C-alpha cells in the first residue's frame, strides 16, 4: 500500500538526508501563530533535514489576485522573519514559488487525480471561502490544496511541519501521492505532516485562528508598544465584567497565550487559580483583574520577541542580502524540483523531451 510507505523506503530518498518542505504565504508579516505552529519546529529540524521553505506567492494570489503588489512587498518581510527567528539560509533554501514552474506543471497533472466533490469537502477551504468570498469563489482558490500537493512533492519532501489548519492539505496530498504511485508506478515520496505543540493559536479577538489576513495577529516584528497595546485589547472571558467574578480560563485566549509562551509555569498556574476563584481584597479591588493577567502576558511576549526584533533589524539594514539569499535558495529549489519533474514525466510516459 502506497499510503503506508515510510519515508525511508520511498523511491526518491536517494540523498542521505530526508527533506522538509514547508512555507508561508507572503500576505503579511509572520506572527505568534507561525512561531508556535511551525517556525519553532523548522528551526529545530533544519540541522537534521534538507529543508526547503516555500514563499507561496502563487497560492497567495488565489485570494489576492486583485492586489499582487501585497505579495511583492511581503516576500522580503517574510524572509526577514525567517532570518530573525534563526532559520539559517545555508541549511534552508528559501524558495519563491512563482519562480518554480515545475510546481504549476505538477498541479495540472494532479488536478486529474482529484474529484470536484473532494476539493469541495476540504474543511479549511470551506471556512476560508466563508471568510473571504461568499458565492463568487475562484476556481484557483478551491484547488489550492492540489497546488499545495505539488509544492510538497516537487521537492520530494518526507516531512511537512505545519499548523493544524493544514491537516486537510496533507491528507489531500497523501491521497494524490497514493493515486499517482498506483497509476504510474512508485515515483513520489509519501509525506508526513508534523504539527506544533500548539498547532492552532487563536487570534487576539478570540477567533479560532490567528491569521495574517484576519487582523487579529501579533506579528513577530511588532514593536514593544504595539505588542502591549494588542495584548491589552485582547478578548478574554466575556462574562467577567469587573474582575471580581470567578473567570473562565479554558478557551480564554489570554491564558492560551500564557500556556504557549510563559516560561514561568508556576506563575501561570497561580494566575489561573486566582482567576478561577475571583474575589476582592479589603479595598474592594479585584484580587486578579484581567488587566494584570494581560500586563504579565505583554511582558512575557516582549521579552521573547526582543532578540527576534534585534536580529530582524540587523538583517533589514542590508538591502541586498535578503534578495541574495532568496535567489540562492530558489536556485537550489529549482534544481531539486527539476529532478522530481524528470521522474514524474518518465513515470507518466510523457518524457518526449528526452526522446532522441
User: In the chain, which ranges are continuous DSSP H helix?
Assistant: 32-34, 40-45, 57-61, 69-85, 101-111, 116-120, 123-132, 139-142, 144-154, 167-184, 224-232, 253-261, 265-277, 290-317, 319-347
For position 240 contacting ligand ATP by CB under 6 A, the verdict is: no
Which of 18, 34, 272, 336 contacts ligand ATP by CB under 6 A? 34
Binding ligand ATP (rule: CB under 6 A), the pick from 10, 27, 172, 236 is: 27
Instruction: Compare residues 41 and 107 and give the one whose CB is closer to ligand ATP.
Output: 41
Cell 533589514 -> residue: 316
DSSP 28: S
Cα–Cα distance for residue pair 58/68, rounded to 1 Å = 10
**4's grid cell:** 503506508
Number of residues that bind ligand ATP (CB under 6 A): 20
* Nearest to ligand ATP of 166, 187 (CB atom): 166
Q: Given candidates 162, 190, 293, 347, which one binds ligand ATP under the rule CB under 6 A?
A: 162
Stretch of residues binding ligand ATP (CB under 6 A), selected from 141-149, 205-213, 228-236, 239-247: 205-213
- Complex with ligand ATP: residue 29 or 187, whichever CB lies closer: 29
| Interface with ligand ATP (CB under 6 A), residue from 212, 294, 312, 336 | 212
Contact string 105-144 vs ligand ATP (x = CB under 6 A): ----------------------------------------
Binding mask 184-203 for ligand ATP (x = CB under 6 A): ---------------xxx--
Residues contacting residue 59 through CB under 8 Å, at least 6 positions apart:
25, 97, 144, 147, 148, 151
Q: Between residues 163 and 243, which has the closer beta carbon with respect to ligand ATP?
A: 163
The nearer residue to ligand ATP, 5 or 80, going by C-beta atoms, is 80
CB of 288 to ligand ATP, least distance (A): 27
Based on CB atoms, which residue is closest to ligand ATP, 24 or 50?
Answer: 24
Closest CA to 295 of 266, 269, 262: 262
Tell me which of 25, 174, 258, 336 binds ligand ATP, using CB under 6 A: 25
| Residue 151 grid cell | 509544492
Residues β-bridged to residue 53? 22, 94
165 scored as a contact of ligand ATP (CB under 6 A): yes
Distance (Å, rounded) from C-alpha 54 to C-alpha 19?
13
Name which position in 33, 145, 191, 193 contacts ligand ATP (CB under 6 A): 33
* Contact status, residue 292 vs residue 255, Cβ threshold 8 Å: no
Residue of 10, 37, 97, 110 that binds ligand ATP (CB under 6 A): 37
Q: Of 125, 151, 3, 112, which Cα lies nearest the Cα of 62?
A: 125
Nearer to ligand ATP, 210 or 337 (CB): 210
CA 238 to chain centre: 29
Please report the sign of the dihedral spanned by the C-alpha atoms of residue 219, residue 221, residue 226, residue 229.
Answer: positive
Interface ranges with ligand ATP (CB under 6 A): 24-25, 27, 33-34, 37-38, 162-163, 165-166, 199-201, 209-214
Amino acid at each position: 500500500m502506497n499510503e503506508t510507505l515510510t519515508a525511508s523506503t520511498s523511491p526518491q530518498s536517494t540523498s542521505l538526508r530526508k527533506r522538509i518542505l514547508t512555507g508561508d504565504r507572503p500576505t503579511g508579516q509572520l506572527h505568534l501563530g507561525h512561531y508556535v505552529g511551525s517556525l519553532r519546529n523548522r528551526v529545530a529540524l533544519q540541522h537534521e533535514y534538507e529543508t526547503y521553505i516555500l514563499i507561496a506567492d502563487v497560492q497567495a494570489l488565489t485570494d489576492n489576485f486583485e492586489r499582487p503588489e501585497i505579495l511583492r512587498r511581503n516576500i522580503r518581510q517574510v524572509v526577514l522573519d525567517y532570518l530573525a527567528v534563526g532559520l539559517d539560509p545555508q541549511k534552508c533554501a528559501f524558495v519563491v514559488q512563482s519562480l518554480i514552474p515545475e510546481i504549476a506543471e505538477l498541479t495540472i497533472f494532479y488536478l486529474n487525480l482529484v474529484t470536484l466533490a473532494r476539493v469541495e469537502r476540504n474543511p479549511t477551504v470551506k471556512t476560508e471561502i466563508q471568510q473571504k468570498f461568499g458565492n463568487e469563489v475562484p476556481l484557483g482558490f478551491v484547488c489550492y490544496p492540489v497546488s499545495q500537493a505539488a509544492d510538497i512533492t516537487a521537492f520530494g519532501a518526507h516531512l511537512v511541519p505545519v499548523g493544524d489548519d493544514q491537516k486537510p492539505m496533507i491528507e489531500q496530498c497523501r491521497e494524490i501521492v497514493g493515486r499517482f504511485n498506483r497509476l504510474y508506478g512508485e515515483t513520489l515520496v509519501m509525506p508526513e505532516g508534523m504539527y506544533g505543540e500548539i498547532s492552532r493559536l487563536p487570534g487576539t479577538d478570540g477567533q479560532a485562528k490567528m491569521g495574517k489576513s484576519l487582523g487579529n495577529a501579533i506579528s513577530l516584528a511588532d514593536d514593544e508598544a504595539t505588542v502591549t497595546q494588542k495584548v491589552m485589547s485582547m478578548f478574554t472571558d466575556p462574562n467577567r465584567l469587573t474582575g471580581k467574578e470567578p473567570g473562565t480560563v479554558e478557551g480564554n485566549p489570554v491564558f492560551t497565550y500564557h500556556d504557549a509562551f510563559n516560561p514561568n509555569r508556576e506563575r501561570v498556574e497561580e494566575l489561573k487559580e486566582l482567576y478561577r476563584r475571583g474575589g476582592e481584597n479589603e479595598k474592594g479591588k479585584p484580587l486578579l483583574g484581567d488587566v494584570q493577567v494581560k500586563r504579565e502576558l505583554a511582558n512575557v511576549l516582549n521579552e521573547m520577541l526582543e532578540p527576534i526584533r534585534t536580529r530582524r533589524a540587523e538583517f533589514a539594514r542590508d538591502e541586498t542580502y535578503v534578495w541574495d539569499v532568496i535567489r540562492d535558495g530558489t536556485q537550489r529549489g529549482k534544481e531539486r524540483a527539476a529532478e522530481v519533474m524528470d521522474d514524474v514525466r518518465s513515470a507518466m510516459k510523457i518524457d518526449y523531451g528526452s526522446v532522441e
